[in-house]
Amino acid sequence: MKRLFVIALMLSLSTSVVAQTDEEAVNEVLDNIHKYASEANFEGYFDLYTEGAIFLGTDATERWTISEFKGYAKPAFDRGSGWTYVMTERNIFLSADGNTAWFDERLDNEGFGECRGTGALVKIEGEWKVSQYNLTVPVPNALLREVVGMIRAGETDQ
């Protein structure tokens, strides 16, 4: 009888789900942000954001509420053309109370090259959601004045 109990206990332990840490859960949300965007999975992608989320894009004018960002993304996702960013490095930080996380990540994109994503997530009813995402294109300091000059010249041409 004792042997059967041990075997049953071993089977239950081997099939039990290992609980995910908050850092692992945040990492999974961020991985899925990039996966669903690449797959043009509108529902999956936007389910990862809070209702009041803000998305900051690479252009200085791109500050979107999640509702505005959905409007921007919907036509592209409907065509099956999302965007693909491959994470090459990520740092995740958690608040002491375990309800807020922030991150920075290095990304690679075919058209924009190396990019940086930063943002914050909040835990809502045990589930992590992105409350802000900021996508930037880092400019090497040696090129910054030249790039700023190009941007300023472009502003006067409009």
Secondary structure letter of residue 117 according to DSSP: E
pLDDT digits (tens, 9 = 90+) for 91-121: 999 999 999 999 999 999 999 999 999 999 9
pTM for the model stands at 0.83
- Letter string b/e over residues 17-50, b meaning 16 or more CB atoms within 10 A of that residue's CB: eeeeebeebbbebbebbbebbeebebeebbebbb
Q: Name the amino acid, one letter, at 149.
A: G
What does the pLDDT look like over 56-65, one tens digit per residue? 999 999 999 9
CB-count burial class (<10 Å; 0-12, 13-18, 19+) for 105: buried
Better-predicted residue by pLDDT, 132 or 10:
132
Domain boundaries, the chain: 20-156
Topology of the domain comprising 20-156: Nuclear Transport Factor 2; Chain: A, (3.10.450)
